[in-house]
Amino acid sequence: MSQLSSCFQNNQFCILVEYLTSLNEIFPVKTEFARYPAVMTLADRVHSDHDVTPLAASEQYPDSVDKILHFAGKGRDIQDIELFLQQAKAAKIKNLLLLTGDKLKEHCDGKDGAERSRYLESVNAVMAAKQFGGFCIGVAFNPFKYAEAERDAQYLKLHKKLKAGADFIITQLGYNMDALKQAKIFLNHHQYTQKILACVMPLSLARANFMVKHQVAGIVITPHMLQVLTDEKQTGLNERVYLRCALQMLMCKHLGFAGIHLSACHKPEEQMLLESYIEQYRHLTLDELESLWNSLWQVKTGKEFVPELPYYSCQPTSSQIIKYQQLHFMHEVLFESKIAKGVGRFIFRAAWWENTPAAKALLKTEYISKHGVVGCESCGQCRLGDTLYICPETCPKGLANGPCGGTTLDRCEFGDRECIHSVKARLAKAVEQTEVLKEKLIPTVPIEVRGTSSWKNWYAATEA
């Protein structure tokens, strides 16, 4: 059993210390951090799309060091994770953190005939790892969402990740303790027994400014936070960065988090400073820690960590509801009725062979009839019935099971549209279809299926 699994089994608070593979250095690895068990985690392509892989980086450290390897689905397909799982097993890796990942730095939107970048969803990666067996599987979760629909969408997807087989959850980096408490309440309320760990980072002014300037996906830094950090820097109170981090770690322990995922604290001198603050304040109660935390952050209203919410609607538009109802009706008639299945079989037999005139005509008919209505891209495995008739291919990452963590107040990480998963979550509430978004694990589309008729494939599958 890995050290991580043993900590979980014994309810022992643990610290996962993150290392970036792009740093190209071998670091002294801690097995204890402030007297808590420590585990090494290796992040996947944080600085560039071409960083050394976590698996390759892990070879620099002995097998005796317990490691968590991150696997981000960006730029990857289901075959990539199947290969990765085999290699990780051969390398005696026991723990994985499976994520969709943020936008590729060299993302290609598929325009002008170029091949569109693909993203393997975390839900599908978890399903593959669970089926493979033998790993302790972690997933990421972003509780720092402040528009109702994007928050609902995050929690709906968390249900799916846990249903798919995740063993533990690591939150996005964030500083709003109320949001972290909500995540714990959610797990308790639904009687999930999976462990949750909070991601923290010593937040200096330079780091906060960087995250704001580069709009780092899914991270919320408010003007109030920037002002507090600026004032501290000007008055020479730089070490508060580590004091605050220590307080957050200790508060999470009191709140029942299984541990901490510690980011950007890989240098021994930083670690020693942080550990010294943990030692200094570990005897405090939760109330005392919270009081100190609030005074350091100058919290007065409780809204200091919440971004300003522009006006937005919590309701779907009437045209969205009507479109859903019409498409749902058509779906039932075309795919669920006996007559439709008989006609479908006849058509699919006629178009059985790929690249025949009949197959090409069927593909073209499907594309023409659906592209204008839902943005169809002929993925070959239509998932509209499981996505409230909102085509997953209209998400720039092509995600079908739910959002990534990178939205900002319902806006897509790519910045050019509203997140389709927020639209779905809002619509699902209005038409009472929330269970579909919570329960249905939608398989990934194999590359070889893309560019074929999903109608033909569907009829073929029902006939089989």
Residues of this chain that interact with ligand SF4 (CB under 6 A) are 370, 374, 376-379, 382-384, 391-393, 454
| Amino acid in the structure at residue 360 | K
What's the min distance (Å) between Cβ of 102 and ligand SF4? 23
Nearer to ligand SF4, 148 or 386 (CB): 386
Nearer to ligand SF4, 143 or 403 (CB): 403
Strand pairing report for 95-99 and 67-72 = parallel
In this structure, the number of other CB atoms found within 10 A of the CB of residue 102 comes to 20
| Amino acid in the structure at residue 12 | Q
What's the min distance (Å) between Cβ of 319 and ligand SF4? 18
Nearer to ligand SF4, 223 or 451 (CB): 451
What's the min distance (Å) between Cβ of 423 and ligand SF4? 14
What's the min distance (Å) between Cβ of 455 and ligand SF4? 8
Report the sign of the C-alpha dihedral through residues 272, 169, 186, 36, in that order: negative
Strand pairing report for 95-99 and 259-262 = unpaired
> Which strand (E) or helix (H) includes residue 262?
strand 259-262
Note the Cα 266 to chain centre separation in Å.
23
Cα 314 from Cα 203, distance rounded (Å): 33
Nearer to ligand SF4, 183 or 379 (CB): 379
Q: Of 43, 122, 38, 135, which is closest to residue 96 (Cα–Cα)?
A: 135
What's the min distance (Å) between Cβ of 159 and ligand SF4? 21
Contact 13, 258 (CB under 8 A): yes
Nearer to ligand SF4, 180 or 376 (CB): 376
Q: Tell me the DSSP string of 309-341.
A: PPP--SS--HHHHHHHHHHHHHHIIIIISHHHH
Nearer to ligand SF4, 43 or 384 (CB): 384
What's the min distance (Å) between Cβ of 65 and ligand SF4? 43
Instruction: Please return the burial class of 134, using the count of CB atoms within 10 Å of its CB with bins 0-12, 13-18 and 19+.
Output: exposed
Nearer to ligand SF4, 276 or 394 (CB): 394
Nearer to ligand SF4, 256 or 385 (CB): 385
What's the min distance (Å) between Cβ of 370 and ligand SF4? 5
Nearer to ligand SF4, 273 or 445 (CB): 445
Nearer to ligand SF4, 250 or 391 (CB): 391
Show contacts of 209-217: CB within 8 Å, 24+ apart.
215/408, 215/415, 217/102, 217/103, 217/404, 217/405, 217/406, 217/413
Give me 184's structure tokens: 């714990």
Largest CA distance in the chain: 78
What 3-state DSSP class applies to 176?
Answer: coil
What's the min distance (Å) between Cβ of 360 and ligand SF4? 16
What's the min distance (Å) between Cβ of 375 and ligand SF4? 7
CA distances from 247 to 239, 266, 277, 295, 395 (A): 13, 19, 8, 12, 38
What's the min distance (Å) between Cβ of 392 and ligand SF4? 6
